[in-house]
Amino acid sequence: MSHDAEREGSETSHKQKDLMDLVKGNGPWQWLAFSVILVCNIPDGGYNMSLTFMAPNVDHWCARPPDSNISVKEWKETALPSNDTQCSRYGFNNISASSDLSFDNTSANTGTATCDSWEYDDSTYTSTIVSQWNLVCDREWLISVSNYMFIAGSLLSSTLFAYLTDKFGRKPLVCACNVLAIASGICCIFSNSFPMFAASRLLASAGVTGANQAAATLMVEIVSPKYRPPYTIGRSLAWHVGLLQLPLIAWWLKSWIWMEAVLILPSILLLSCWWLLPESPRWFIARGKTEDALKILSEAAKANGMEISGIKLEEKVAELKESTEDDPARVNVLQLFRPELRLRTLTLWYIWSATSFVYFGISYNTNELSGDPFVNFTAYALIEIPACVLAQSVIQYRGRRAPLAITMACAGATSLLVHLIPEEFGWLRTSVPLFGKFCITATFSILGLFTPEVFPTVLRSIGYGSASAISTFAAILAPFVRELEHAHHPVFPQIIFGMLSITGGGLALLLPETTDRSIPDTVKEASEIPRRRT
């Protein structure tokens, strides 16, 4: 009984004496840093789905001969086979001096020829990467390469850059990744070949994702526990600002080059203000740099109007430094598999994978609507905003574990139930998947805050980055599951989405509860977080 009482007292103390509470965990110092962190989120949201408008489905057909005065309508009616108007044409016998065509489309020996150049419908877009490098017909697969290069960039940031963030600090990586994003974005604009564009896109992805993840880790470490959900809502809204700017930019500019130019503007803005970010005092302490930590904390207290003695700060920093001395000096992903962290690492990897798999699976199945592409994209992006706001509002008062489990289970249930709805209830068959996307978006929002909270300071960015990297692999696999719909039965993908999500909801209950608790600075502190809210 005395042991329980001692543990309860320790936990109460742990909640009340978070490092940032000493200097006021929500004040002007945090607001200034947070304004810069918001700028980090905008380009990540924009780049994530930019290929939707840079490489859209554009009508195309074999190009007319140079200097020909034949109209497009006449060309399509007489020179293009009715069963393949986009990739082949009838063979020409000759082209007269007056540029009139002379051919016989009924002649057996004329046959058809593969297009060697194309014309594109420019009624919606004046320029796309499809028209720039003729990514059609037997080159259409290169669009997927561009997408996978972006994913590869995300993997690079979630692994290498996450390691560097824990090794060299949060602030330097925000700056370095941002410079990389700007340089590679400029290279995209001036690319003179598709390989150059794809390689630049990989580096741009690594830059914007790396800066965002480093900034997210920093935010968790400089804000008091009870203020983390509101700050996370702000980050989510900034990310969606980046997402929602895409249809507006595409509708207004209609050119992928100008879209790319606008997308790097927030990164250029960040270049002018990144120095306003502080370094994480927790990271300084974890790396044994107590003098630097005391300097940062003193500046925070002064900016927030808190009067605190230097002796009290020194005692708290010394206490934290002493507790971190037993932590691993080497920072690498293998440290996540220490006995104290192994279960939560594997659990979070599964949950991130299932969430990503289901999110993109539902998106691919529901985002294929007829009508205006700009309106459709905006509608599907807007539905994610209330999901993020509601999720963060709930977890502030109801904990992390239960809402995470419930949102995953609900997303899974919608996937399993959608094919049971009769065809005549079309509105319901559309609404249920949208509710599923609402739930799985809420899950992503919870994970974005929950994951950094369960890992110690020295491994926080690696823990968060590795989970994100695993989810990226799941995102790659999600489109291929749709092939099961054609090869077997339409219900197969939904069963897979449903079972993965429901299983993830059950596993979420194995995670510790971090609500209202100071984030752990050591492996020992992380292992002592209970599963129930105290």
Q: Please tell me the distance from the alpha carbon of residue 298 to that of residue 115, in angstroms, as a whole number.
A: 69
Query: Is-same-fold flag (17-65+117-325; 333-533)?
Result: yes
Q: Which of 468, 355, 400, 382 is nearest to 229 (CA)?
A: 400
Every domain of the chain and the residues it spans: 17-65+117-325, 333-533
**Which two structure tokens, joined as six digits, stand for 155?**
């993997």
Q: Which of 517, 270, 524, 307 is nearest to 401 (CA)?
A: 517
**Which two structure tokens, joined as six digits, stand for 271?**
């270049």
Pairing of strands 112-114, 88-90: antiparallel
The 3-state DSSP class for residue 341 equals: coil
Q: Which of 168, 157, 154, 169 is nearest to 277 (CA)?
A: 169
Beta bridge partners of 60: 120
> Hunting for tokens 């005065």 — which residue is that?
69
pLDDT of residue 451: 93
pLDDT of residue 219: 93
CATH architecture of 333-533: Up-down Bundle (1.20)
What's the full length of the chain, in residues?
Answer: 534
Q: Please tell me the distance from the alpha carbon of residue 293 to that of residue 223, in angstroms, as a whole number.
A: 15
pLDDT of residue 402: 93
The answer to whether residues 501 and 358 touch, using CB atoms and an 8 Å cutoff, is yes
Q: What is the DSSP string of 426-491?
A: HHHHHHHHHHHHHHHHHHHHHHHHHHHHHS-GGGHHHHHHHHHHHHHHHHHHHHHHTHHHHHT-TH
The answer to whether residues 497 and 362 touch, using CB atoms and an 8 Å cutoff, is yes
Q: What are the two backbone dihedrals, phi and then psi, of residue 519, each rounded to the nearest 5 degrees?
A: -65, 145
pLDDT tens, residue order, the chain (534 aa): 344 444 444 444 444 467 888 888 889 999 999 999 999 999 988 888 888 889 888 888 888 877 777 777 777 777 777 777 778 777 665 444 344 555 444 444 456 778 888 888 888 889 999 999 988 888 888 887 888 888 888 888 888 888 899 889 999 999 999 999 999 999 999 999 999 999 999 999 999 999 999 999 999 999 988 888 889 888 888 988 988 898 899 999 989 999 999 999 999 999 889 899 999 999 998 888 889 989 999 999 999 988 876 777 777 777 777 766 665 556 667 788 888 889 999 999 999 999 998 887 776 554 455 557 787 788 778 888 899 889 988 988 888 999 999 999 999 998 888 778 777 776 777 778 788 889 999 999 999 889 999 998 888 888 888 898 888 888 777 766 656 665 566 677 788 889 999 999 999 999 999 888 888 888 888 888 877 766
Q: Please tell me the distance from the alpha carbon of residue 105 to that of residue 89, in angstroms, as a whole number.
A: 10
Q: Please tell me the distance from the alpha carbon of residue 356 to that of residue 102, in angstroms, as a whole number.
A: 55
Q: What is the DSSP string of 85-102?
A: TTTEEEPPSEE-TT--EE
The CATH code of the domain at 17-65+117-325 is 1.20.1250.20
Q: Which of 143, 155, 149 is nearest to 187 (CA)?
A: 149
Name residues whose C-beta falls within 8 Å of residue 59's C-beta, 6 or more positions apart in sequence: 86, 120, 121
